[in-house]
Amino acid sequence: MQDAAAAHQVLAQPEAGSAEAVQTSVADLVTRLLGHGCQIGAALLAKGKLARGQIDLEFNPKTLASALGIAADHLHPDLTHVTASFDLCRRGVEAKVIAGDMAPQPDPHLRSMLIRAHGWARDLKAGVQLMEIARRESVPDAFIRTRAQLAFLSPKIQTAILDGSQPPELTLKRLVSVTHPLEWSEQERLFGF
């Protein structure tokens, strides 16, 4: 039944016997796009328009139909034009285009630093000197001092960092450039929670 649904979304006039072949063609195209997205995507794209908060893409119906292994007149017309809203979020020096509903993706660097901060906080609690930790890590004392404070963020902020649901503008640079309030509700307000 799922194969038939895929055929109904791709074909202008679905045929019962073609559902499995269409499903295989779509899966193959997705695999090729993931592997060589730029080259294949550029061949499929007829034109695109980028405006504040919105992207419009128009695909070449013949090229798309050929990539799917079907005749161009069998291609559902809704597949040749895609409009989506997006947000542009800055994260430090990089900018990310966020389109549609994205699944949370943890920032591996921020996540790693949070985990390391907990280890440093344990060491400090056990009586290990800050200079000794810095020497062991081959970093300046200030590096440990500014990053160890991550271990004392509110549980809500730490959970968001670990599962990737923190606001996109919450970067390691932002976290280490300010002194964190002691009260968790103030931290959450400061960092956009």
* pLDDT tens digits, one per residue of 49-79: 888 778 888 888 888 888 877 777 777 777 7
pLDDT, one tens digit per residue, over 84-94 is 877 766 665 66
Q: Is the pLDDT of residue 14 over 60?
A: no
Rounded Cα distance, 109 and 92, in Å: 13
Q: Is the pLDDT of residue 187 over 90?
A: yes
Cross-strand partners of 193? none
Q: Is 164 exposed, middle or buried (0-12, 13-18, 19+ CB in 10 A)?
A: middle
Q: Is the pLDDT of residue 97 over 60?
A: yes
Query: With contact defined as beta carbons under 8 Å apart, do 74 and 103 qualify?
Result: no
The kind and range of the H/E element at 185 are: helix 184-190
Average confidence (pLDDT) over 167-189: 90
Rounded Cα distance, 92 and 193, in Å: 18
Least confident of 20-24, 61-65, 162-166, 169-173: 20-24
Rounded Cα distance, 192 and 41, in Å: 36
Q: Is the pLDDT of residue 45 over 90?
A: no
Please give the full DSSP string across 20-63, using - where no structure is assigned. Answer: HHHHHHHHHHHHHHHHHHHHHHHHHEEEEEEETTEEEEEE-HHH
Per-residue pLDDT band at 12 (split at 50, 70, 90) = low
pLDDT of residue 9: 57
